[in-house]
Amino acid sequence: MPDESLAVYRTLVRRAFANDDLSRLQIHFEIAVLDRYRGVEGFSLIRTNTVGRLKKQGGWSIDFGIDQVEPLIHICQGDVPKLPKEERDHWAAHAIALPASTVFLQMRMSPGSCIDDGDVRNWD
């Protein structure tokens, strides 16, 4: 992430934490998530250099950011409800994970589960 983007992102996170409002935090997707809508009757897909909008005529729309380094887009978590339920699995299939602990993610999906991935020790 370029330094300018990182600074803006950290400001966004600070504000989200300070206001107990995580709705503006970002979810990233492969740009291929948009292929489903390109050139399809009833959909409009427009963009500038760094932002875009997908709109279904007479229906829903969602704004997204366009990463200039990687072929990714990102949306606000709070905008997910704008996607119709029948579209959400498609978007989820194109979600990008930032580096993360697989074990921690599994623990959060199944609270209370016992996961053994090594000895407990102090962080030195």
* pLDDT of the residue at 2: 63
How many structural domains is the chain composed of? 1
**Strands across the sheet with 51-56, in order?**
43-47, 51-56, 61-66, 72-76, 26-30, 95-96
* pLDDT of the residue at 85: 97
* pLDDT of the residue at 1: 58
Query: Which of the four pLDDT bands, split at 50, 70 and 90, describes residue 81?
Result: very high
Give the least confident one: 1-5, 55-59, 98-102, 108-112: 1-5
Q: Structural domain of residue 73, as residue ranges?
A: 28-109
Determine, yes or no, domain membership for 96: yes
* pLDDT of the residue at 36: 96
d(CA 90, CA 88): 5
Determine, yes or no, domain membership for 74: yes
CA distances from 60 to 20, 33, 79, 102 (A): 27, 16, 11, 33
Determine, yes or no, domain membership for 120: no
